[in-house]
Amino acid sequence: MRSGPSSTRESSGRRWLRRILVVGGLAALSWFAWQVDWPGTFRVLARLGWALPLVFVPYLLVYFADTAGWRSCFGHPPRLSWLRFLRIRWAGEAVNNVIPSGHVGGEAVKVLLLRRHGVSGHDGVPAAVISKTLQSVSQLAFLGLGAWCFLALGTAPAAFRQAMGGLLAIGTVALLAWVALQRRGLFASLNSVVRRFRAGDTRWGRKLAEWDGLDARIVGFRRNHPYRFAGALAFYGLGWLLDATEILVFAVLTGTPLSVEQAVAIEAFVGVAKGLTVFIPGALGVQEGSIVFLCRMAGVDETFGAAYALIRRLRDVVFASIGWKLLLLDRVRLRDLA
């Protein structure tokens, strides 16, 4: 089946967008390298010594919490061990961290590996959608907490604090809207809008029918398994909080004063920066630059921020390498996802 002109233009537009974002990421990385006080940064890193592996422990705990959250998103969990769930999720996250696919590639890997272990896409796909939805909602709550922390710190310029106040208000409204949409269904609300503009389009009609079925399963999950629904939200919320402990551990090991409010404020918005640049491999440059900038806004020394950015990049490489090794052990090839 041939692609139409519109799909060709769309794919071309996406390629150009990715190129622009990659160039932007490289520019951010260059800015980071130019601005960093390298002697001061290396002095901070030298304080770690043998304790370097301890910095990675919080992120390992994040994987544990997120795996528990994902497993809770199945109404009736498959007969797979928790360790198998961890391996599958780890492999999927490795793909997300390396391949700029907007997290689509990683979710496809998870569904593929579940299918290889006897879990049908009929169960795996809705669980993936529920998982991503609840993880995003918990991140929104964490983002609101981060905005409140920035306001409480009072170290940022007035314009930045005003932006945080606005973001806190928007986040609160968004959470309330999400709760309201749960009564009707997220896709049902989207479908009512799409049908107005795509009436009579048979291709969209089939797609909307698929969405309706998926919506029914998601709403049914909340109604029929309220404890698993709440458990998934709790585990994902715990994962975001554990994310903030990583920079706290790094601060303790390097002898740098850092409050819980500063850690939460920085971590919450680093996640946002990464989320906005999902088409840049590993958020290269953006992650480093955002950490240094957010440390400055939180009243933390920039050499500490630069050192933490480098350690965090090392952590990403280590965890992604383990994930790709797991993919090789499961004999997954990229063309399997096509």
pLDDT (0 to 100) of residue 259: 95
pLDDT (0 to 100) of residue 201: 54
pLDDT above 80 for 133? yes
SS3 103: coil
pLDDT (0 to 100) of residue 6: 47
Could you give the angle at the alpha carbon of 132 between the alpha carbons of 192 and 273, nearest 5°? 105
CA dihedral 252→258→262→267, nearest 10 degrees, is -20
Of 189, 66, 183, give the one whose Cα is nearest residue 136. 66
Residues 6+ apart with CB under 8 A from 307: 41, 42, 44, 45, 250, 254
pLDDT in tens, 109-129: 888 899 888 888 788 888 888
Instruction: Round to whole Å and give the CA distance between 62 and 240.
Output: 7
The model carries a pTM of: 0.82
- HSE-up of residue 83 (Cα within 13 Å, Cβ side): 1
Instruction: Round to whole Å and give the CA distance between 128 and 104.
Output: 10
pLDDT in tens, 257-306: 999 999 999 999 887 777 666 666 667 777 888 898 899 999 999 899 99
